[in-house]
């Protein structure tokens, strides 16, 4: 299976680029942000619990997110070619859980691909999206800064976890969406070739 983590700080373009990668490489999408927002919209117990964290720019507790991913992986049919993990894992604990879940499925992670974007650009993009997205966590600068801080403290170490496994790749995340997608595709194509040989 082709299992890829699309990694990066909030607003780095993970959701934007995942949509294009899924179409090109025919992979399945697992976005914890989308899954949580869906629970929130349906006002489920999980959604209402998650909202308390998301609205403040904080990460949702590991056990909630890991349980959600586990059930999504279990739902995957035998024809699944692989997954793009978008916004997951966001802590080293989540990364270890993902490694275990994939091992249980008889597969493993191929690579983590990081989108590199400056803090100034991230804040600009998220506040701009906040004008139309209706997302409480996109609206004010203090919440956006909290999300960036959570990323620096808790999520950035996930990159080291996969560097130590020799699975880390990075792509410049500033430029036009198509330019970035072109560079991501070059990395993906190299990974496919390495996987075949």
Residues near ligand B4P (CB under 6 A): 8, 10-16, 32-33, 36, 53-54, 58-60, 65, 87-88, 90, 94, 125, 129, 137, 147, 177, 180
- Helix then strand count (H, E) for the chain reads 9, 5
Is 42 known to be catalytic?
Answer: no
Active site residue 96: no
Choice between 67 and 194, CB closer to ligand B4P: 67
Instruction: Output the smallest distance, CB 82 to ligand B4P, in A.
Output: 19
- Closer residue to ligand B4P in complex, CB, 122/191: 122
Q: Do 32 and 38 contact (CB within 8 A), yes or no?
A: no
105 versus 129: smaller Cβ distance to ligand B4P? 129
d(CA 75, CA 139): 34
Give yes or no: 141 in active site: no
Q: Which residue lies nearer to ligand B4P by CB, 53 or 168?
A: 53
Q: Name the residue number minimizing CB distance to ligand B4P.
A: 33
**How far apart are the C-alpha atoms of 39 and 54, rounded to whole Å?**
12
**Spatial separation of the C-alpha atoms in residues 88 and 36, rounded to whole Å:** 12
163 is catalytic: no
> Is 90 among the catalytic positions?
yes
CA distance 118 to 2: 29
The torsion angle over the Cα atoms of residues 14, 76, 159 and 36, rounded to 10 degrees, is 60
Q: Catalytic positions, please?
A: 14, 90, 129, 135, 147
């Amino acid at each position: 299976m082709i299992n890829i983590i699309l990694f990066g700080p909030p607003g780095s373009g993970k959701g934007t680029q995942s949509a294009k990668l899924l179409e090109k490489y025919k992979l399945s999408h697992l976005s914890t942000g989308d899954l949580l927002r869906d629970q929130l919209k349906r006002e489920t117990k999980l959604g209402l619990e998650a909202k308390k964290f998301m609205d403040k720019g904080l990460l949702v507790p590991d056990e909630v997110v890991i349980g959600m991913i586990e059930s999504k992986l279990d739902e995957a049919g035998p024809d699944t070619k692989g997954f793009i993990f978008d916004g997951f894992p966001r802590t080293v604990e989540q990364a270890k859980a993902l490694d275990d879940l994939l091992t249980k499925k008889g597969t493993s992670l191929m690579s983590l691909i990081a989108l590199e974007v400056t803090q100034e650009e991230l804040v600009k993009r998220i506040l701009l999206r906040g004008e139309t997205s209706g997302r409480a966590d996109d609206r004010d600068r203090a919440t956006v800064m909290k999300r960036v801080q959570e990323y620096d403290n808790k999520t950035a170490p996930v990159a080291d976890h996969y560097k130590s496994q020799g699975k880390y790749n990075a792509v410049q995340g500033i430029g036009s969406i198509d330019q970035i997608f072109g560079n991501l595709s070059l990395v993906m194509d190299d990974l496919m070739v390495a996987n075949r040989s």
